[in-house]
Amino acid sequence: MLLLVGLGNPGARFQNHRHNVGFMAIDLIQDRWRFNSPRARFKSEAADGNIDGVRVLALKPQTHMNNSGEAVGEAMRFYKLTPDDIFVIHDELDLAPAKVRVKKGGGVAGHNGLRSLAAHIGPDFWRVRIGIGHPGEKSRVTGHVLGNFAKEDAAWVDPLLKALAEAAPQLVRFDAAGVMNKVALALQPPRKKESSPAPKESPSDEPAKD
């Protein structure tokens, strides 16, 4: 059993926020791998599923971001899991938009959801970091994080989340490099076919002179 956790805030007014990209990812993974319908458990929307033969419980904590650790801690203790069995998908200010990084452990970098998780289960869980970029000024961070993705962001958000759902088998097999490679390849622009140079005219092809 593994826990796959998306971080976000519950409620319609938050659903398109950059801070809710973890919830968005969980929704697509559940759809792609045909998880059971979510139900209320562990202070979360929880759905059981199977990814590449691995049993997975997907969680969307309903505690609001700042108390995410309460929900994940309950589920971890119930199933007698360790932080190594937990993957957390979240937004990352310190990554450029459309970048994904997967790693185990680390700091919280001012992310209140990660801070709550570290307080309740320790820091050594897996993180799937989805870059949302930094607005450039500290005073603009809250508005950026708690703001909707811009229309032009759909060009990378949608394919990134779909690719992450397709890479779920690599994720549950702890293949961090495989996940990152699959997402990066999905976001590469298609290569333009190089046109062949026009053939040079041979002397016999020259027009006849009068």
Active site residue ranges: 19
Give the predicted TM-score (pTM) of the model: 0.88
pLDDT at 193: 60
Q: Do the beta carbons of residue 8 and residue 23 sit within 8 Å? A: yes
Listed residue (8, 26, 126) closest to 63, CA to CA: 8
Written as tens digits, the pLDDT of the chain (210 aa) is 999 999 999 999 999 999 999 999 999 999 999 999 999 999 999 999 999 999 999 999 999 999 999 999 999 999 999 999 999 999 999 999 999 999 999 998 889 999 999 999 999 999 999 999 999 898 999 999 999 999 999 999 999 999 999 999 999 999 999 999 999 999 886 665 655 565 555 555 555 554
What pLDDT shows up at residue 188? Answer: 84
- Which CATH superfamily does the domain covering 2-189 fall into? Peptidyl-tRNA hydrolase (3.40.50.1470)
Q: Say what angle helices 176-187 and 154-166 make with each other, to 10 degrees.
A: 140
Supply the pLDDT for residue 199.
59
| Six-digit token string for 71 | 């929900």
